[in-house]
Amino acid sequence: MGKTILLGHGSGGKLTGDLIKNTFLKHFDNPVLRELTDSATIRIKDKLIAFTTDSYVVDPIFFPGGDIGKLAICGTVNDLAVSGAEPLFISTAFIIEEGFPAEELEKIIRSMKDEAREAGVIIVTGDTKVVSKGQCDRIFINTSGIGYLDRKYESISTGRNIKRGDKIIINGNIGDHGIAVMGARENLKFETEILSDCASLNHLIKAVLNSGAEVKFMRDITRGGLATVVSEIVDNSKYGISIDEKTLPVRESVRGMCEIFGYDPLFIANEGKVLLIVSEESSQKALKAMSRHEHGKDAVIIGEITSDNPGKAVLHSIIGGSRIIDKLTGEMLPRIC
Amino acid sequence: MGKTILLGHGSGGKLTGDLIKNTFLKHFDNPVLRELTDSATIRIKDKLIAFTTDSYVVDPIFFPGGDIGKLAICGTVNDLAVSGAEPLFISTAFIIEEGFPAEELEKIIRSMKDEAREAGVIIVTGDTKVVSKGQCDRIFINTSGIGYLDRKYESISTGRNIKRGDKIIINGNIGDHGIAVMGARENLKFETEILSDCASLNHLIKAVLNSGAEVKFMRDITRGGLATVVSEIVDNSKYGISIDEKTLPVRESVRGMCEIFGYDPLFIANEGKVLLIVSEESSQKALKAMSRHEHGKDAVIIGEITSDNPGKAVLHSIIGGSRIIDKLTGEMLPRIC
C-alpha cells in the first residue's frame, strides 16, 4: 500500500486485494477471515452460519433498474446465497447527509422492503447516523446478513472440490449494472434503455442446488467484473480457467457503450449475476434448472476448469487468439455499488 | 418527520425515535424489529442468536482514550452483551475518503485488533469502499456483530420481568466520552485530561450474570445519554423510574465543562457505561461482582423502579426538587460515535 488510500483500493480489483492482504489480513488474521470468501462461515454451537457485510455508496442513488436500497438488499442476499447459505436476516445502517429529502429516504426504504420481501429475508436491526452537510454524499447504506448454511454445502464457498473439466456457468448478460449506473451518472441517453441487472439470486441458486447438480463453487460477479472473479478463483490454484469469448453474453447496447468509452465488459460490475462451477456431468442439469427461472433464462456455459495454465484464467477470443485475464487494476467506475 | 433529515435524526434521542417509528418500523415492520432492542434476537434452527449493527462516524477519529476503530469494536460488543449474549463474531465495513493516510488506517486497524482481542471477539468478514475526496469525511466504519444468547437470558433485552422495587445500577461516571470527544474536536485544554470511557463491557457483564444476581434488563448508555435510556425504558410501561441525583457519578472536570457549555451530563454520550436493572434482593450481589472488575469499580445504585409516575422517569435533585427526565431533543454533539 502506498502512503494514501486511492479510489482503486475500493475497486474490488487488484488494489482492493492488496489492501485486504497487506493491511486487514495482516492484523485481523484468523482462519475464518483468511478464506476471503464472500460470506464468512462461522459455527455457533453445532450450527453453521454465513455472515457477510457490505456498504453501498452507489452514485447516483436512483438509477435505471434499481436504487441504493434495492442494491443494499440484493448485494447482501447474494453474498450469502453464493456461499450455499439460505439468507435469513438483514441489518441496515444508514449514514445520511443533513438535509437529505425525507421523501427520497422513504422511497429507498420502500425499495428495501420490497426487495427483502422478494428475497424472503427479514430486516431485524438497524442504525442511523446523520452527518452535517458536505460530510457525506447524500446517503450511504450498510447491510449485513446472516444465513443458515446446511452442512452439505459447506465446501461451496471455498471451492475446494473444483477439478479439471468442471464447467463454468453464468446466468446471463454481463455489464448491465455498470453501464446503467454510468449512464445515469453522466446523464447519457441510450437508444434502448439499459437497466441494472440488480436482483436477489437466492431463489435461482436454491433451484440449482435443489436440482441435484453438483455445484462446487459460486460467486456473484460484482465490482471488478467477471475478469476479477475468474482470476481470483485460480489464484494459487493448481488449475487454470479457460473462457470462451464467443459464449460470453453481452447485450449489444452494453457492448456499444463499452466500445465508445474504451471499457472491457469483462471488468464491468454486475449486481444480478452469479458464476457457478459445476461438475461436467451435472452441468446440463444446472442449466436446465436455471433456464426455468426469471434470473437464469440466459444461463450459459462460458468455459471450464483446465489443468493447463495453472493459476491463470485464459480468454480464447473470437478471432482465435488467447490472452490472460487479470484482475481489475485501478478504478474504472468508482461508486458503482 | 419533516421534509428533510436533520442532525437530530441521528442523535439517538427523540427525533431518532420518531424516524425509527414513523419510517423504518412503518415499512420494515416485523416482530423482531418491533422490539427495538440494541440487538435483535433471532432464531436459527433451535439456537438463539443476537445480531446488531452500528455505523461509526465520530469526529475527530482519534480522541483521548480511544479512536474510531476501538469505538467500532466496543460499541458493537456492548450492544450484544447488554442483550445477555456472548459476543462472538464481528464484521467490519469501511467507507474511506480518497487520499486518507494509509498510516492512520493502519493505526485504526491496530486499535480494532487490540480491542477485539480484549473483548474476545473475532473479525470474520469485511468490506471496503473508497469515495472521492469530499464525498465523505475521512473514514466511516460499520461493524455488525453476532453473539450466542443462552435461553436463560432471553428476557433481558426486552426487560419484561422488571417490577417495582428493582434497583438501577450504573458502572461508573457519566459523560466522559462526550466531553472527551468535544474537547478533542474543539481543541480544548483541560486541567486534568478527560479520557473517553470507551470500553468493551462484555467481561464485566458476564461477571454480573455469573454472580447469580437477577439481571432483568441492561442497556449501554450511548447517544442520548442516561436521560434517553431511562426515558425509553418506561415508555408505555406501567412502571416509572426514580433517579436520585446525588448518587449520580459525574467527574468534577466533566461537570465543570458541562456548566461552561450549558450541557446536562444526563444527556451526554458514554461508550463504556451500562445501566442494569436488578432485583432488589440481588442488587448487592451485582454491585459486589461489578466492583471487582476494572470497568465496574465505581458501580453504584442510582435509583429504582416505582409504581408512581407510570411511564415517566423522575429525577430527585440534590436540592430536594424533582423533575421529569425526557429524551434528548435536537442534537447536542453531532458525530459523537
pLDDT digits (tens, 9 = 90+) for B227-279: 999 999 999 899 999 999 999 999 999 999 999 999 999 999 999 999 999 99
pTM of the model: 0.97
- Nearest CA among A199, A218, A213 for reference residue A85: A218
The yes-or-no answer to whether B37-153 and B167-325 have a common fold is no
How many other CB atoms are there within 10 angstroms of residue B26's CB atom?
13
| Per-residue pLDDT reduced to its tens digit, A39-58 | 999 999 889 999 999 999 99
Mark yes or no for CB contact B112/A27 under 8 Å: yes
CB neighbours of B262 closer than 8 A, spacing ≥ 6? none
Cell of A24: 486487514
pLDDT of the residue at B52: 98
What confidence category does residue B323 fall into, taking pLDDT thresholds of 50, 70 and 90? very high
Neighboring chain B residues of A10 at a CB cutoff of 8 Å: 96, 128-131
ipTM for the assembly: 0.96
| Four-residue CA torsion sign, A35, A36, A42, A47 | negative
pLDDT at position B189: 82
pLDDT bracket for residue B120 (50, 70, 90): very high
Site of grid cell 417495582:
B164
Taking CA–CA distances from A80, the nearest residue in chain B reads: B125
Across the interface, whether the CB atoms of A44 and B95 are under 8 A apart is answered no
**Angle made by CA atoms B180, B181, B185, in degrees to the nearest 5:** 120
Section A136-158 average pLDDT: 97
Task: Report the C-alpha gap between B233 and B223 in whole angstroms.
Answer: 15
Query: What's the pLDDT at A331?
Result: 82
- What is the per-residue pLDDT for B213? 98
CB contact under 8 A, B98 and A6: yes
Question: Is the omega angle on the peptide bond into residue A265 within 30 degrees of 0, that is, cis?
Answer: no
- The set of residues, in sequence order, having a beta carbon less than 8 Å from that of B192 and lying 6+ positions away, is B253
Residue B52 in grid coordinates? 446488531
Best B96, B124, B132 residue to mutate vs chain A (most A CBs within 10 Å): B124
Quick check: B99 and A4 CB within 8 A? yes
* Pairing mode of beta strands A167-170, A274-278: antiparallel
Distance from CA of A209 to the nearest CA of B (A): 20
Question: Can you read off the three cell numbers belonging to residue A60?
Answer: 447516483
Cα–Cα nearest to A278, from A297, A256, A303, A254: A303
> What is the pLDDT at residue B38?
85
In angstroms, rounded to a whole number, what is the distance separating the alpha carbons of residues A54 and B126?
Answer: 7
Tell me the percentage of chain A whose pLDDT exceeds 90.
93
- Distance (Å) from the alpha carbon of B21 to chain A's nearest alpha carbon: 12
Angle between helices B252-261 and B176-186 (to 10 degrees): 60
Contact across the interface for B122 and A32, Cβ inside 8 Å? yes
Query: What fold, for A167-325?
Result: Phosphoribosyl-aminoimidazole Synthetase; Chain A, domain 2 (3.90.650)
Contact criterion met (CB below 8 Å) for A287 and A231: no
- CB-based contact B122 A93, cutoff 8 Å: no
Return the domain boundaries, chain B: 37-153, 167-325
**Nearest Cα residue in chain A from B103:** A3
Neighbours of A246 (CB within 10 A): 9
> Looking at the predicted structure, is the pLDDT value of residue A16 above 80?
yes
CA B316 to chain centre: 23
The verdict on a CB contact (< 8 Å) between A130 and B27 is no
- Inter-CA distances, A74 with A111, A202, A210, B137, Å: 11, 9, 21, 27
Q: What are the cell numbers at A267?
A: 471488468
CA distances from B309 to B15, B37, B167, B229 (A): 24, 23, 16, 17
Q: Which of the four pLDDT bands, split at 50, 70 and 90, describes residue A257?
A: very high
**The pLDDT value given to residue B16:** 93
Residue A190 has pLDDT above 90, yes or no: no
If pLDDT is split at 50, 70 and 90, which confidence band does A332 have? confident
What is the percentage of chain A residues whose pLDDT exceeds 70?
Answer: 100
Nearest residue to B130 (alpha-carbon basis) of A34, A4, A95: A4
Least confident of A119-123, B17-21, B70-74: B17-21
Q: Is the pLDDT of residue B1 over 80?
A: no
pLDDT of residue B2: 84
**Cα of A98 to nearest chain B Cα, Å:** 5
Contact across the interface for B44 and A334, Cβ inside 8 Å? no
Q: What pLDDT was estimated at residue B330? A: 84
Inspect the interface and report whether the beta carbons of A5 and B102 lie closer than 8 Å.
yes
B128 contacts: CB under 8 Å, gap ≥ 6? A9, A10, A16, A19, A20, A24, B93, B94, B96
Q: Residue A321 contacts by C-beta under 8 Å, 6 or more apart in sequence?
A: none
Report the chain B residue with the minimal C-alpha distance to residue A333: B131
Q: What's the Cα-to-Cα distance from B28 to each of A149, A168, A337, rounded to whole Å?
A: 25, 37, 22
Q: How far is B49 from chain A (nearest CA, A)?
A: 9
pLDDT score recorded for residue A14: 92
pLDDT, mean over chain A: 95
Residues pairing with B242 in the sheet? B304, B314
pLDDT tier for residue A189 given thresholds of 50, 70 and 90:
confident
Residue A110 has pLDDT above 80, yes or no: yes
Q: How many CB pairs under 8 A join A and B?
A: 284
Which tens digits make up the pLDDT trace of A275-313?
A: 999 999 999 999 999 999 999 999 999 999 999 999 999
Examine the pLDDT at B29 and tell me if it is beyond 80. Answer: yes
**Residues A246-274: what's their mean pLDDT?**
95
| pLDDT value, residue A2 | 84
Strands B240-244 and B313-316: parallel
Interchain pair B101, A4: CB under 8 A: yes
Cβ-defined contact of B109 to A335 (cutoff 8 Å):
no
Within 8 A of A27 by CB-CB distance, chain B residues are 106, 109-110, 112-113
Q: Which residues contact B260 (CB under 8 A, 6 or more apart)?
A: none
- Average the pLDDT over B64-79 and give the result: 98
Q: CA of B21: how far to CAs of A141, B158, B226, in Å?
A: 19, 17, 21
pLDDT confidence bin for A187, thresholds 50/70/90? confident
- Residue B35's contacts (CB-CB under 8 Å, 6 or more residues apart) are B41, B157, B158
Q: Is the pLDDT of residue A1 over 90?
A: no
Tell me if B331 sits within 8 A of B11, measured CB to CB. Answer: yes
Q: Distance, in angstroms, between B196 CA and closest chain A CA?
A: 20
Domain A37-153 is found in CATH 3.40.50.720: no
Q: Is the pLDDT at A210 greater than 90, yes or no?
A: yes
Which region holds residue A75: left if phi is over 0, alpha if psi is between -120 and 50, else beta? alpha
Indicate the pLDDT class of residue B188, thresholds 50, 70 and 90: confident
Can you tell me the mean pLDDT for B204-227?
97
pLDDT at residue A183, rounded to an integer: 93
Q: What is the dihedral of CA A249, A250, A251, A252, to 10 degrees?
A: -120
Percent of chain B with pLDDT over 90: 93
Greater pLDDT, B91 or B38? B91
* pLDDT of A40: 95
Which residues of chain B lie closer than 8 angstroms to A103, CB-CB?
3
Could you tell me the three cell numbers for A206? 436454491
Which pLDDT score is estimated for A101? 97
Average pLDDT of the segment spanning A149-157:
95
Model pLDDT, residue B60? 97
Q: Distance between terminal CA atoms of chain B? A: 23
